[in-house]
A and B are shown apart, each in its own frame.
Chain A
């Protein structure tokens, strides 16, 4: 007991308090209920701590061990803010908490995420009310990331966007007189190549984006859903890049007609179960350029283990479904899971290994960043090869020959687009582990958004399996 008291005393005597306030950058008003995370730099033996600001935006973190830390604030609708950032959305600077001293008062300004607002106009410049508007990333693979409905004046707002360039598009549909309009990109483009992309940055609202839907004939698709007999049932979902809708649901043979379909690619997904709950499903891709009749969509038996994802290391496998209308939520792939037929993607969280190879039925699965695409439906096995023989890169970040403590370091694989970002320790030393072989760019900066990524100051490094590379970096400044 006495020992415990002494130990406790020792711990308390060496702990400090970190406190501060989180403010809205635009109004200067305090931001209540914001998450504030104190993260130790490499070499500081402490755990990451998260607290919430109180009603007046203030926070206090008690019992902070001496060392070097980064303070980060996160809140819905805002870009993350860091203490010492040159402006909201940028990387902050680390600070030292010394023995027996207050860790200082920290003020973090947070800026709203970006937003795009505009109007969907008819041919006379009158806003079309209650019309769907979709937002897509311009980067490949192009994905639908948000949707909104126009208000009574035909105006829309798409908020909570990251900095980037987007395509804005109105949905297809019938007007009051049953004439139809195509899904149309801003400002009046049916084809993506004619679209006018919109770029926004943190704290910005890009206003007055106009969309003038183009008139054209929408198509219909009819046929039957072959669902299991009662009490089994199934649902047929029509998926396009402007959303999804259930077009048939029930038991046995269910006729359906889906109208107002934009010419182009569509996906038809059946999912259901028979009388005893055995799952069934099917997935069909079509390119529609005329009205389609008498199509039949079965709910086929999905065999357990119909898809097997195996890995040579014990690591969780995270999967998501990818439809024409975007990505599903993530979940950990269960061993006995029977995924609905269709396009899926998987990733393995980073650990003491790297993903050496992912094979779909013997061939490499297509990779984009950390994600590998695979198909579920016909029998396929997916094999993941993880290797602990990873490469490591480390070095010192300097500014005019002086080490930069806590400098943010970014490592990117040029071929796969995978990226890592770490902080240097108080001596400016950084280390990134778990890298696969390949060509990488390495750089360090507090102001990444203003760095020219094709600049010669960004270093290329070729890594081989098991290699430990050393690469010192000069801190890049705008």
Chain B
């Protein structure tokens, strides 16, 4: 009899129509001793959490194509306000949440006469370093394309290379003009917006052929992926010669994969080229130093990161990989690298350590028992702010305006927040319901501090307002 209900409706901000079957989570603030619960809204966008123990909560909604919404947010994309559930509390309050569409970019790929080119590949890249290809599309019968489900941000758009009807060739070209990244015009899109009329003018140029020889044990079938920063092409073959034509000039990665064998090589193509592709026997990576901690891996090819999976003794095709682990609060991850590698440690972006691996990798996981931490109280006019959202960024030591990793926590009912398991480094943090982290005011007013290994820093924060 001491439990209450929390209920509400999810709406589309643009049409005011209810949104059915969204994922709704009731997330307790730190200090509220219960677990997060997730359910699906019904056909009419309604959700009801019953038997909710007393405490402080936020309601969060996620759905494909929409920005994550939270109850009480000033506008979609910003953090929501926590609320208190008391014993037998009023269960008749409807907590409405407005969802806003994610961003989209649409446009066309045209020839010299402004005629759309059908079935042409288009790639979208993040404009902010590290530049990564995050989405691809094909133009329709009129040469038009649309890429949706994008976060708010700045992007670079590029048409791929290929052959036209008369065998004339086009090289990859950026929006608006040209083949050089330096000349690309980045596109900024906000949530709910479609940046339309992104017209890419194609550029004539020469494409090249890659001939090669596949060497595989027992002539077993091999799949060869030719990967560039504007996509990949895959061919299935057996041992012997192969020929691929129409490759745009630039760096190509050649990845061979067969049963129990594989290889990876980089090739600069600026003329017709030849490659010997060996499918070498592979052994599963040996992982030391992780103990029972699961280690996650994903490929980092030229056309963007692959899907994340847990390492469980499976062999990995050689090439560029990224690895990460999520240690407990009393440890932090120092590095993941090839055993015996003494070169400078590359920076981990979003916690992923880049590692170049070969046919018999031995990964050394380096955990430290001396993590740093930051904690403090968030106040507004000297009063504690219950459940205030706190944002933390680890700054890139080379380019401090860019972050290596970001975290977000909520303060507890007394306005107290904690970040654990942090590596040493320079940090920036702030708390606000109204400011995006990359807005100039937020940057100016956020706190910065340097943490050494094992340090526990106390950092009081004033809730930022515009």
**Structural contact, A157 and B140, CB atoms closer than 8 A:** yes
Cβ of A294 to closest chain B Cβ, rounded Å: 33
**What residue of chain A has the Cβ atom nearest to residue B102's Cβ?**
A152
The contact of A153 among B20, B43, B45, B148, by CB within 8 Å, is B148
Asked if B17 lies at the interface with its beta carbon under 8 angstroms from chain A, I say: yes
**Structural contact, A160 and B65, CB atoms closer than 8 A:** no
Complexed CA–CA distance, A249 and B301 (Å): 30
Question: Given the interface contacts A29-B114, A29-B115, does A124 sit within 8 Å of B19 by beta carbon?
Answer: yes
Asked if A30 lies at the interface with its beta carbon under 8 angstroms from chain B, I say: yes
Complexed CA–CA distance, A29 and B249 (Å): 30
Q: Could you say which residues of chain B place their CB within 8 Å of the CB of A336?
A: none
**Structural contact, B164 and A159, CB atoms closer than 8 A:** no
**Structural contact, A113 and B141, CB atoms closer than 8 A:** yes
Asked if A306 lies at the interface with its beta carbon under 8 angstroms from chain B, I say: no
Asked if B18 lies at the interface with its beta carbon under 8 angstroms from chain A, I say: yes
Asked if B218 lies at the interface with its beta carbon under 8 angstroms from chain A, I say: no
Cβ of A160 to closest chain B Cβ, rounded Å: 5
Complexed CA–CA distance, A175 and B18 (Å): 16
Q: Could you say which residues of chain B place their CB within 8 Å of the CB of A45?
A: none
Q: Could you say which residues of chain A place their CB within 8 Å of the CB of B146?
A: 151-152
Cβ of B168 to closest chain A Cβ, rounded Å: 7
A137-180 residues with Cβ-Cβ distance < 8 A to B are 151-153, 157, 159-160, 175-177
Q: Could you say which residues of chain B place their CB within 8 Å of the CB of A364?
A: none
A111-142, CB under 8 A of B: which get 1 and which 0? 01101000000111110011000000000000
Complexed CA–CA distance, A157 and B43 (Å): 27
Asked if B450 lies at the interface with its beta carbon under 8 angstroms from chain A, I say: no
**Structural contact, B164 and A33, CB atoms closer than 8 A:** yes
**Structural contact, B21 and A55, CB atoms closer than 8 A:** no
**Structural contact, A77 and B118, CB atoms closer than 8 A:** yes
Asked if B307 lies at the interface with its beta carbon under 8 angstroms from chain A, I say: no
**Structural contact, A177 and B101, CB atoms closer than 8 A:** no
B308-328, CB under 8 A of A: which get 1 and which 0? 000000000000000000000
Cβ of A372 to closest chain B Cβ, rounded Å: 33
**Structural contact, B113 and A151, CB atoms closer than 8 A:** no
**Structural contact, B101 and A24, CB atoms closer than 8 A:** no
Cβ of B39 to closest chain A Cβ, rounded Å: 10
Q: Could you say which residues of chain A place their CB within 8 Å of the CB of B92?
A: none
**Structural contact, A126 and B20, CB atoms closer than 8 A:** yes
The contact of B40 among A76, A130, A151, A177, by CB within 8 Å, is A177
**Structural contact, A123 and B20, CB atoms closer than 8 A:** yes
**Structural contact, A122 and B20, CB atoms closer than 8 A:** yes
Complexed CA–CA distance, A175 and B104 (Å): 23
Complexed CA–CA distance, A404 and B286 (Å): 85
B34-67, CB under 8 A of A: which get 1 and which 0? 0000001001110000000000000000001100
Asked if A57 lies at the interface with its beta carbon under 8 angstroms from chain B, I say: yes
Complexed CA–CA distance, A125 and B23 (Å): 18
Q: Could you say which residues of chain B place their CB within 8 Å of the CB of A380?
A: none
The contact of A52 among B112, B141, B166, by CB within 8 Å, is B166
Asked if A32 lies at the interface with its beta carbon under 8 angstroms from chain B, I say: yes
Q: Could you say which residues of chain A place their CB within 8 Å of the CB of B22?
A: 176
B1-51 residues with Cβ-Cβ distance < 8 A to A are 12, 15, 17-23, 40, 43-45
A30-61, CB under 8 A of B: which get 1 and which 0? 11110000000000000000001001110000
Q: Could you say which residues of chain B place their CB within 8 Å of the CB of A123?
A: 20, 43
Asked if A312 lies at the interface with its beta carbon under 8 angstroms from chain B, I say: no
**Structural contact, B15 and A125, CB atoms closer than 8 A:** yes
Q: Could you say which residues of chain B place their CB within 8 Å of the CB of A32?
A: 111-113, 115
Q: Could you say which residues of chain B place their CB within 8 Å of the CB of A115?
A: 141-142
Asked if B341 lies at the interface with its beta carbon under 8 angstroms from chain A, I say: no
Complexed CA–CA distance, A152 and B101 (Å): 9
A161-209 residues with Cβ-Cβ distance < 8 A to B are 175-177
Q: Could you say which residues of chain B place their CB within 8 Å of the CB of A129?
A: 64-65, 148-149
**Structural contact, A152 and B148, CB atoms closer than 8 A:** yes
Cβ of B18 to closest chain A Cβ, rounded Å: 5
Complexed CA–CA distance, A465 and B414 (Å): 100
Question: Given the interface contacts A32-B112, A113-B141, A125-B15, does A177 sit within 8 Å of B165 by beta carbon?
Answer: no
Complexed CA–CA distance, A30 and B146 (Å): 25
Q: Could you say which residues of chain B place their CB within 8 Å of the CB of A77?
A: 118, 141-142
Question: Given the interface contacts A113-B141, A126-B12, does A30 sit within 8 Å of B113 by beta carbon?
Answer: yes
A43-92 residues with Cβ-Cβ distance < 8 A to B are 52, 55-57, 75-77
B145-181 residues with Cβ-Cβ distance < 8 A to A are 146, 148-149, 164-166, 168
Asked if A454 lies at the interface with its beta carbon under 8 angstroms from chain B, I say: no
Q: Could you say which residues of chain A place their CB within 8 Å of the CB of B18?
A: 124
**Structural contact, B113 and A31, CB atoms closer than 8 A:** yes
**Structural contact, B142 and A159, CB atoms closer than 8 A:** yes
Asked if A455 lies at the interface with its beta carbon under 8 angstroms from chain B, I say: no
Asked if A27 lies at the interface with its beta carbon under 8 angstroms from chain B, I say: yes
A284-323 residues with Cβ-Cβ distance < 8 A to B are none
Q: Could you say which residues of chain B place their CB within 8 Å of the CB of A30?
A: 113, 115
Q: Could you say which residues of chain A place their CB within 8 Å of the CB of B21?
A: 175-177
Q: Could you say which residues of chain B place their CB within 8 Å of the CB of A176?
A: 21-23, 40
Complexed CA–CA distance, A176 and B64 (Å): 10
The contact of B115 among A24, A124, A151, by CB within 8 Å, is A24
Q: Could you say which residues of chain A place their CB within 8 Å of the CB of B12?
A: 124, 126
Question: Given the interface contacts A31-B115, A33-B168, A77-B142, does A152 sit within 8 Å of B20 by beta carbon?
Answer: no
**Structural contact, B101 and A153, CB atoms closer than 8 A:** yes
Cβ of B16 to closest chain A Cβ, rounded Å: 10
Q: Could you say which residues of chain B place their CB within 8 Å of the CB of A31?
A: 113, 115
Q: Could you say which residues of chain A place their CB within 8 Å of the CB of B17?
A: 124-126
**Structural contact, B142 and A112, CB atoms closer than 8 A:** yes
Complexed CA–CA distance, A298 and B137 (Å): 40
Q: Could you say which residues of chain B place their CB within 8 Å of the CB of A29?
A: 113-115
Question: Given the interface contacts A52-B165, A124-B18, A177-B21, does A151 sit within 8 Å of B45 by beta carbon?
Answer: no
B92-106, CB under 8 A of A: which get 1 and which 0? 000000000110100
Q: Could you say which residues of chain A place their CB within 8 Å of the CB of B64?
A: 129-130, 152
**Structural contact, B112 and A152, CB atoms closer than 8 A:** no
**What residue of chain B has the Cβ atom nearest to residue A160's Cβ?**
B141
The contact of A124 among B20, B23, B65, B118, by CB within 8 Å, is B20
A400-424 residues with Cβ-Cβ distance < 8 A to B are none
Complexed CA–CA distance, A175 and B64 (Å): 12
Complexed CA–CA distance, A75 and B43 (Å): 46
Complexed CA–CA distance, A76 and B101 (Å): 35
**What residue of chain B has the Cβ atom nearest to residue A117's Cβ?**
B140
B312-348 residues with Cβ-Cβ distance < 8 A to A are none
**What residue of chain A has the Cβ atom nearest to residue B144's Cβ?**
A157
Query: What are 13 A-B pairs with beta-carbon distances under 8 A?
Result: A29-B114, A32-B112, A32-B113, A33-B168, A76-B165, A113-B141, A115-B142, A122-B20, A124-B19, A126-B19, A152-B101, A152-B148, A175-B21
Which 9 pairs across A and B sit closest by C-beta, in order of nearness? Answer: A152-B148, A159-B141, A176-B21, A33-B166, A33-B165, A152-B65, A124-B17, A29-B113, A160-B141
Q: B interface vs A, CB < 8 Å?
A: 12, 15, 17-23, 40, 43-45, 64-65, 101-102, 104, 111-115, 118, 140-142, 146, 148-149, 164-166, 168
Q: A interface vs B, CB < 8 Å?
A: 24, 27, 29-33, 52, 55-57, 75-77, 112-113, 115, 122-126, 129-130, 151-153, 157, 159-160, 175-177
Q: A32-B111, A123-B43, A152-B148 are in contact. List 15 more A-B contacts (CB 8 A).
A: A24-B113, A31-B113, A33-B166, A33-B168, A52-B166, A123-B20, A124-B18, A124-B20, A125-B17, A126-B20, A152-B149, A157-B140, A157-B141, A159-B118, A175-B21
